[in-house]
Structure 1
């Protein structure tokens, strides 16, 4: 049973902004006894509470989230959060720089997975291959 309180409403609104209806209402409406507690936690605590705190902007939270997902090697979630980061105003160049920076602290395999996630989502979103002309130099 979903309780529609303030945290739920804020959380579902944030999820909808970042991930569209498929990442918001569709996820919540298609819960089962197996995953209902997880979806409730994600909506209320993650997006209704933590993502709303004043200490970081939503854009900065998206950058930090992508960096942590690269570090942890969570490839599926990287792709999900790249889409959300673009919706939250993180530029493709910033996302690329986060993935490249991860080489220093997470290693080449992690950075490579981050770049693969970016490549896939950028292709899906029609982000051109020329981000800042750096490759042509």
Structure 2
């Protein structure tokens, strides 16, 4: 999702929430995303599937943007979400399709 996104997560964060945001940044963005075993594109596609399975639409929206930045195509995103239809259920996949379509439309409107 990029350094700018990660840095924005600290804007306006309360003293109460700062420790959890620091841990997420250190471990998720630092230690996990920098590991050599998977490229960022693959990690992005996995995140789309996992966030669909967990029904986390707000997080999914950010990760759709990140996936595009990491070279995942719209067709690949669509295929990942179709795969979740079978393994995670129709309601989860439908919500992820709606969220993703909204993000894609926002991106198109910005250009």
Q: TM-score scaled to structure 1, two decimals? A: 0.74
Larger radius of gyration: 1
Which structure 1 residue ranges, 4+ long, deviate > 6 Å from structure 2?
none
Give the superposition deviation at 1:26: 2.6
Matched, 1:61 2:43: yes
Q: Distance in 2 between matches of 1:62 and 1:36?
A: 25
Q: 1:103 Cα shift?
A: 1.1
2:46 aligned with 1:52: no
Runs of 5+ unmatched residues, structure 2 = none
1:34 and 2:16 equivalent? Answer: yes
Partner residue in 2 for 1:98:
80
Displacement after TM superposition at 1:24 (Å): 2.4
How many residues end up aligned between the 2 structures?
109
| Structure 1 gaps, min length 5 | 1-13, 128-137
Q: Name which structure has the greater RCO, CA cutoff 8 Å, separation 6+.
A: 2
Mapping of residues 68-87 of structure 1, within 5 Å: 68-87=50-69
Alignment RMSD: 1.5
Number of the residue aligned with 1:25? 7
